[in-house]
Chain A
């Protein structure tokens, strides 16, 4: 049953002019400059940026752990500075990368404790605890002490905790760091299932894994040095670095009857260049391939190019569509790869 309140039509996250300055020993550090951001209910929004970009700082401010130095932010219309009690009822967070938990408690006891912190009566709390334990497939470690759990098991437990209050807004700060491929996949699946269960559940995720961001996020903001450099869907971001569609077409050899010039004149073709050519090796193993990089206005123009090549007697060896990766977008916007530091860039 949904009661429409003014807040119900609000953005899931609304950040306006948020800045944050830390006083550190060597002077002050500006972690965030005047950030504006809006995330709609139901979105899975990603923050992508190198170390020190300010991602965690923004998540901490939104999850009421830290105060902004300037600006304001709200979650479903509730101010994160003033309305903390209500914000905390509809929000939860998971951070990756450190072991957290009370080693002497069992997994179930720890979750039960958090259920109490959410004000649930014991029976209701335990019902939710057991449901999450089940959902994460960690029934086998339910009564095991936290100190005996692996990193992956602990992080699943941490996720289970974050679902206890069925949050509308879930903050995930590098949640899959340190997890193996299958544990990371389990966790991502749970997040998606959780969002699917109820429209409106919103997720803000930071990650260093480009593939994770690309695969999971509806929209992404690329941040560096406390500023948002670009935001959009993964496709939109990729379009920023590559406007045309690019196909790589491999033929055994370019027939004399067709020149690059004739291909370039075909409708919808922007450019054609020889990308590379592999000769057969000395033992005659493998056969020669010439690869053409063909930029098109639209995918449909490919047909004309292929027909022209075939008509000239070329044997087609391979066709692939070349998509820019988020990594390329990132490098272009940030000026360095996500795993390179500022200093490496300066070298």
Chain B
């Protein structure tokens, strides 16, 4: 080590993006997102375990569907319309649950199970695209399950829209819905990463409550007034309603059904925009606070 000749270090190029034709934050974020999505594809769709996938993607959602339909039949309200309502609700909620819990699970998995979060956090990449990439793949895999549930629904007499599904509406509703729910998931992740204990339980608890409030199985009208208002404020409520209209061709009975489809899309769009603006900011705040508390690389076990 020659201390007499000061080392010349080219910090200017080293600290700027030195690589490749794609430059800029957006390109870096896209790279991280794709890399994380690949990872999620390998770990979530553990295709080497077909039995696990069978249970997770097919048996479990269908068992729940059977349960809900049984409840309807005991209550004497099993008819084609109610089957359609429940099938679509149960199918779309697979995706809602995955997208909403995805970012939290990615962060906690990386902190507690894989113990990689410190190494990812120490890269120039933000944890935001990393969490989004993981959540999107979880949602995609859940979508396979949703398609299966809908397929089974069609077999057991779910009334489909005359002339087939309204694909443009479906596409728009799915895009808006998924974006807003991943956004909520990001915000939830930002909260959970600041918790040391039982953080795993939170997204599940939130998803469970939302399930009851968003009209997935129980029409909003059957809820007490206060809960109806909460339900109406949730983007998944509108997402599921939009999918019902696209697939079944009919609006839900009651409150939600009174809204015209363009108005529904407007509500969903406004909600999505607000969430998309707020979620990354909340995420940054949450990660900063976790960094301050020292929870980023400290697992509950350590």
Contacts and interface: CB of A to CB of B under 8 A. Distances in A.
Interface of A: 1-5, 7-9, 22-23, 40-43, 60, 63-67, 76-78, 85-86, 88-93, 95, 98-105, 109, 112-114, 116-121, 124, 158, 161, 165, 168, 199-200, 218
5 contacts: A8-B11, A60-B294, A66-B292, A93-B119, A113-B38
Contact of A65 (B7, B115, B291): B291
B166 interface: no
Contact of B7 (A5, A41, A218): A41
Nearest to B123: A117
Interface in B1-29: 1-3, 6-17, 19-22, 27-28
Given A112-B35, A113-B38, 6 more contacts: A7-B9, A7-B11, A64-B121, A65-B291, A102-B39, A117-B123
Given A41-B7, A42-B7, A102-B116, A89 B15 contact: yes
A8 B8 contact: yes
A65 B17 CA distance: 21
Given A65-B118, A65-B297, A114-B119, A76 B1 contact: no
Nearest to A87: B15
Given A2-B8, A105-B39, A116 B1 contact: no
Given A117-B124, A120-B19, A121-B22, A67 B42 contact: no
Given A41-B9, A104-B43, A88 B124 contact: yes
Contacts of B3: 40
B69 to A, nearest CB: 36
Between A89, A90, A92, the greatest number of chain B beta carbons within 10 A of the residue's beta carbon is seen for: A89
A67 B294 CA distance: 8
Between A102, A121, A165, the greatest number of chain B beta carbons within 10 A of the residue's beta carbon is seen for: A102
B124 A5 contact: no
Interface of B: 1-3, 6-17, 19-22, 27-28, 31-32, 34-36, 38-39, 42-43, 46, 48, 114-116, 118-125, 130, 291-294, 296-297, 302
A103 B109 CA distance: 12
A78 B11 CA distance: 10
A200 B6 CA distance: 9
A118 B35 CA distance: 11
Contact of A95 (B16, B118, B296): B118
A102 B120 CA distance: 12
A77 B11 CA distance: 10
Nearest to A56: B297
Nearest to B40: A102
A3 B227 CA distance: 63
Contacts of A2: 8-10
Closest A-B pairs by Cβ, 10 of them: A2-B8, A116-B35, A200-B7, A121-B20, A86-B15, A100-B115, A117-B123, A117-B125, A41-B7, A88-B124
A158 B120 CA distance: 12
Given A4-B8, A93-B118, A101-B114, A116 B42 contact: no
Contacts of A7: 9, 11
Contacts of B291: 64-67
B283 to A, nearest CB: 15
A41 B293 CA distance: 30
Contacts of B1: 40, 42-43, 199, 218
Contacts of A88: 122-124
Contact of A121 (B19, B39, B48): B19
Nearest to A162: B119
Contacts of A103: 114
A3 B116 CA distance: 34
Nearest to A23: B293
Contacts of B118: 60, 63, 65, 93, 95
Contact of B116 (A9, A91, A100, A121): A100
A78 to B, nearest CB: 7
Contacts of B46: 104
A92 B286 CA distance: 23
A22 B292 CA distance: 9
Contacts of A104: 42-43, 46, 48
A95 B125 CA distance: 19
A102 B9 contact: no
Contact of B12 (A3, A23, A91, A117): A3
Contacts of A9: 6
